[in-house]
Amino acid sequence: MATIVQTPSGTYKALVRMKGWPTTSKTFRLKRDAVDWARRTEDEMVRGVYISRSGSERLTIQEALQRYLNEVTPTKKPTTQRSESITAQHLTGFLGKYSMAAVSSELVASYRDHRLTAGKANNTVRIELALLSNLFTVAMQEWGLGITHNPVATIRKPSPGKGRDRRLTGDEEQRLLDAVEAHSNPMLAWVVTLAIETGMRQSEIVNLRLPHVDLQSRVVRLSDTKNNSSRTVPLTAAATAALKNAINNPIRPKETDLIFFGEPGRDGIRRPYQFAKIWGSIKQAIGANDLHFHDLRHEAVSRLVEGGLSDQEVASISGHKSMQMLRRYTHLRAEDLVTKLDGLTKIRAVVLDVYGTIAAINNKRSPFARLLQIGASQGRTRTKEDSRALMTNPWDLHEAAQFFGIELTGAELDELEQDLETELDSITLYADVVPTIRALQRRGIKVALCSNLAKPYAAPITRLLPMPLDAYAWSFEHQAIKPDRNFYERVCEKLMCSPNQVLMIGDTPIADVSGPREVGMQSLLLDRKALTDSKDKIHSLTGLLDAL
């Protein structure tokens, strides 16, 4: 039951008591607001959905972030702790005075736009939003503040920034090594060498300790990594030499097992070697201001891929948990891949044109052409689209006549159909067709037919071939003719091959050679009248086997 009491200060205090629920109260300036709140609260209690929001209404974002930094952040790695401390300052500056209950999706979106407008990188804003989102998640799950939803979850996040593809170019690596070797502290040169040779992260290198290194086996065993997964990193000869020199460094103090050590702090404890300022001056000296130390990891991992190691082998060395993350780091030089791509472009399918390529019509009667002549005698004007229409529609002679509006007598139709039957009966395959197709199939190469033809001319070909093929692409089925790009693309889709893995053979330069090449297919012209083969032309299908 709700009770409304006026306080000495003139405000109104609503007090709700209901069996099974904790006593709840809230103060308002106006009595009607107190009454409305009391009714809503009682209704939620009756329906069993009441959640006390007083905690989230009293706790500001600034206070919540401070609690997060005190309770949650210390459980993370030192680098993450420093990053979250800085990120919290940015969030506090914009949202700090708002209560947790007052932060809406619109307010978070406003913060996002404010940061992006200020010129901050997409990834920076994504990291800040991630911390804010995690703050609300922890508050909902562990702090019991009565928050019912995460306002960050429903807003658009900035798209991830494009992964860096910075590689060492030209003599840049040698200039870098010369510069770090000339530095007064030899540890810098050893650290850079290890980064290039092993792909270890900066934090992993500078935190190396004597028990981690096995020079005899030439491996480094890492237990404290970015993703908390231990791994063993093999060492190249150059990396082994660098570590050996670092371990035998005559000035390395005995009281620490750090291989790369810094000066003692105020507490007398030595911490890992830090070289951020030195790295900046080195970059400037060699004219590589855009080079990040982490780019050396990109370089190392890319070289492992270029060296022929499998994705699994590279991941075991680099420590990437997913192939997606690994691909971000393997930006291979295009010029280094040209030769390999040439070797990888293996023909996996051969597409053959039909008439003039694998088959001949020995008794030509041209019934469809004669049909159009009859139409012309009736006053119908022939157009360039007539042939395309005949080859892109599944018509017989009667259906074609109806489409073109040509009137045929019974005798004329019978004569045209007899000519068609005579023509189809005269179709034969060239002698080299069946042996060539069998040889291709024995090699595991797919074979398909692709032809511009009227529907009646397809069936004789499938009857004459003694074996099934992998695909058939007839113009009357696809409503397209060569050299339409989508016709070739559909053939490749049927074969489940990329265009550069498919070889087109035919007797027409445009439809069978230049057309396929425009979509990335390979092609050869078949000229059965020629006496010899050349680079882009064969005189028989037997020459195709030699070309492959």
374 residue type, one letter:
I
Kindly name the residue from 297, 303, 365, 455 that is annotated as catalytic: 297
Cα–Cα distances (Å) from 411 to 176, 179, 425, 468, 485, in that order, read 90, 95, 21, 38, 41
- Copy the structure tokens of residue 15: 């007090």
Q: How confident is the model at residue 344 (pLDDT cuts 50, 70, 90)?
A: very low
The whole-number pLDDT of residue 343 equals: 46
Q: Could you tell me the sign of the dihedral formed by the alpha carbons of 312, 316, 321, 323, in that order?
A: negative
Whether the CB-CB separation of 145 and 158 falls below 8 Å is answered with no
The whole-number pLDDT of residue 459 equals: 93
The whole-number pLDDT of residue 341 equals: 47
Structure-token match 């070909």, residue found: 461
Our answer to whether residue 472 is catalytic in this structure is: no
- CB neighbours of 73 closer than 8 A, spacing ≥ 6? 80, 81, 84, 85
The whole-number pLDDT of residue 145 equals: 73
Kindly name the residue from 329, 365, 457, 488 that is annotated as catalytic: 329
SS (H, E, C) 481-527: CCCCHHHHHHHHHHHCCCHHHEEEEECCHHHHHHHHHHCCCEEEEEC
Kindly name the residue from 17, 67, 226, 539 that is annotated as catalytic: 226
pLDDT at 529 > cutoff 60: yes
Kindly name the residue from 218, 244, 294, 331 that is annotated as catalytic: 294
445 residue type, one letter:
I
From CA 342, how far away is CA 325, in angstroms rounded?
A: 27
pLDDT at 493 > cutoff 50: yes
For domain 349-356+428-547, give the fold.
Rossmann fold (3.40.50)
For domain 58-143, give the fold.
DNA polymerase; domain 1 (1.10.150)
Whether the CB-CB separation of 416 and 408 falls below 8 Å is answered with yes
Determine which of 249-263, 340-354, 364-378, 387-401 has the lowest per-residue pLDDT on average: 340-354
- CB neighbours of 540 closer than 8 A, spacing ≥ 6? 432, 526, 528
| 172-340 carries CATH number 3.30.1180.10 | no
- Work out the number of other CB atoms within 10 angstroms of the CB of residue 307: 9
- CB neighbours of 453 closer than 8 A, spacing ≥ 6? 354, 355, 391, 474, 475, 476
Our answer to whether residue 294 is catalytic in this structure is: yes
Per DSSP bridges, beta strands 427-429 and 359-361 are antiparallel
Our answer to whether residue 226 is catalytic in this structure is: yes
Q: What is the pTM of this model?
A: 0.49
Burial class, 38, CB count within 10 angstroms (exposed 0-12 / middle 13-18 / buried 19+)? buried
Kindly name the residue from 320, 446, 482, 494 that is annotated as catalytic: 320
- Give the model confidence (pLDDT) of 494-523 as tens digits: 998 889 889 999 999 999 999 999 999 999
- Work out the number of other CB atoms within 10 angstroms of the CB of residue 169: 10
Q: Is 275 helix (H, G, I), strand (E, B) or coil?
A: coil
- Copy the structure tokens of residue 433: 């067709």
Mean pLDDT of 138-143: 85
Structure-token match 């059965």, residue found: 528
- Work out the number of other CB atoms within 10 angstroms of the CB of residue 537: 15
User: Angle 9-56-65 (CA atoms, 0-180°, nearest 5)?
Assistant: 120
Q: How confident is the model at residue 281 (pLDDT cuts 50, 70, 90)?
A: very high
Our answer to whether residue 68 is catalytic in this structure is: no
Looking from the CA of 70 toward its CB, the CA atoms found within 13 Å total 6
- Work out the number of other CB atoms within 10 angstroms of the CB of residue 5: 12
- Give the model confidence (pLDDT) of 217-248 as tens digits: 899 998 877 766 788 889 888 889 999 999 99
Whether the link from the prior residue into 509 is cis, omega within 30° of 0, is no
Our answer to whether residue 292 is catalytic in this structure is: no
Our answer to whether residue 297 is catalytic in this structure is: yes
Backbone dihedral region for residue 285 (phi beyond 0: left; psi -120 to 50: alpha; all else: beta): alpha
Whether the CB-CB separation of 348 and 501 falls below 8 Å is answered with yes
Q: Is 220 helix (H, G, I), strand (E, B) or coil?
A: strand
